[in-house]
Amino acid sequence: MDWNMSKLLNMTGTTPVRERPIKMVALAEIIAMKNGEEIPVSFRDLSTGKGAIIINDVKCVVYIKNDTSGKQKWHFHKCSALKTHQTFEKRYVIKSDNNGLFLLENGKTIAIEPCSKCLSQSDKERDWYSLQGTLEQRNAMFIPMVSNQEFFETLDSCYSHARDLLGHEYQGYVREWKGISFAYRKSKNWTCEDCSLNLKSHKHLLHTHHVNMDKKNNDYSNFRALCVDCHSKQPFHYERMATKFAKEIEFIGVLKKNKKK
């Protein structure tokens, strides 16, 4: 199956930056990225475009998954520290979401620091240290600044698993719900219609709420795009959502605090 990368990039609005031809990763490997699996990418394949780490014209964040010490750093720039790894034939994993945790080979998910060399050599140091919150929360805000996470979100929407579709039907949603919700939230520029918080860099935190609570009524007049916090405050939603999305609601508060600065 051929993968039309340019078509997907057009969907995401990503503008490719090229300095030299680079290795193209196969579709099967891109899908594997969604599961946190390792892909064999050499140091030479890791970068183009003013030092950013780019695979298939997409700016990426990488880390070494089989280092389970938790002392490693994650990289977004072809820094001097990353260059020292090339002689050890390190295997990198592409992080394909923008939450602040990293999956290690031992199954643990932990928050690790961005590489200090990447920060200083890419002029992003001030951006990183201006963020407030826990390490996990700061990672989640910073990763979208240095990578094209929208690519992975579009990929995810294109390749939904059958069990997800069946799950939607079981919960009362129509089979096409994921695409319907994506289109509506995009039409609202990924902005909460209650608190006006823009979540373009954190699309999963913006929900599509059914005003009359009828999940089969998917007319746009029955929708409101709401951040997970505002969604939880809707009638009959709080008890179900406050616990399930406690971490996300807390993160919304951190985003609002950083926005006010």
Return d(Cα 5, Cα 184) in angstroms, integer: 24
- Interval 165-195: pLDDT, tens: 334 444 667 777 877 888 899 999 999 999 9
The predicted-structure confidence for 196-228, as pLDDT tens digits, reads as follows 999 988 888 999 999 988 888 889 999 999 999
Name which of 60-69, 130-139, 189-198, 229-238 the model is least confident about.
60-69
Residue 37 confidence (pLDDT): 53
**128 close to 76: Cβ distance less than 8 angstroms:** no
Cα diameter, the chain: 60
Q: What is the pLDDT of residue 88?
A: 47
Percent of the chain topping pLDDT 90: 28
Instruction: Read off the pLDDT of each residue in 98-122 and give the average, rounded to a whole number.
Output: 89
pTM over the 0.85 mark: no
> So where are the chain's domains?
5-150, 162-260
